Amino acid sequence: MSDSENTQPVTIAQVQNEAELFQALAIREVVFIEEQHVPEGIERDAEDAKAYHVLAIQGGHAVGTGRLAMLAEPPEGKAGRWAKIGRMAVLQSHRKARIGSKLLTTLEEEARRRGVTGIILHAQLFALEFYKKHGYEPVGGVFMEAGLEHLAMQKQF
């Protein structure tokens, strides 16, 4: 990726069709399966079929993705409608362009449109400060998910 392509504007858009969903899944495959060695069998799940997915587009190419899934019940001790943000991934060559922040903000805006009271997510430990900057607070202790250390985080609106 050339520097001129990295300076092009980034747009975040809802996945509209199967072809765009495949682009999102391809980004997740590169980031989670190839880079982080997440087992292929657990990277995709039943939530993919019903979640709200977004793509980050820069220079005509999909460079990031994330999803929002509604929870059937609020977390323990909480009330209202809650959602979970997950599968946030940005291609390595684009990680310094604040694309993750744009993806997260877009998913939060969709959650608000849906009347969500709060959001949970499972943050990889290296990403804790990123989520803290966006108002997420750690809940509980470190746990293993997909062979990687995570911490549950939540944000209430």
Q: What local confidence, expressed as pLDDT, does residue 6 receive?
A: 66
Per-residue pLDDT band for 5 (boundaries 50, 70, 90) equals low
Per-residue pLDDT band for 7 (boundaries 50, 70, 90) equals confident
Mean pLDDT across the stretch 124-150? 95
Q: What local confidence, expressed as pLDDT, does residue 11 receive?
A: 96
Q: What local confidence, expressed as pLDDT, does residue 53 receive?
A: 98
**pLDDT tens digits along 21-74:** 999 999 999 999 999 999 988 999 999 999 999 999 999 999 999 999 999 999
Q: What local confidence, expressed as pLDDT, does residue 97 receive?
A: 84
With a CB cutoff of 8 Å and minimum separation 6, the contacts of 152 are 120, 121, 122, 123, 138, 139, 140, 143
What does the H/E/C string look like for the chain?
A: CCHHHHCCCEEEEECCCHHHHHHHHHHHHHHHHHHCCCCHHHHCCHHHHCCEEEEEEECCEEEEEEEEEECCCCCCCCCCCEEEEEEEEECHHHCCCCHHHHHHHHHHHHHHHCCCCEEEEEEEHHHHHHHHHCCCEEEEEEEEECCEEEEEEEEEC
Quote the CATH superfamily of domain 10-113. Gcn5-related N-acetyltransferase (GNAT) (3.40.630.30)
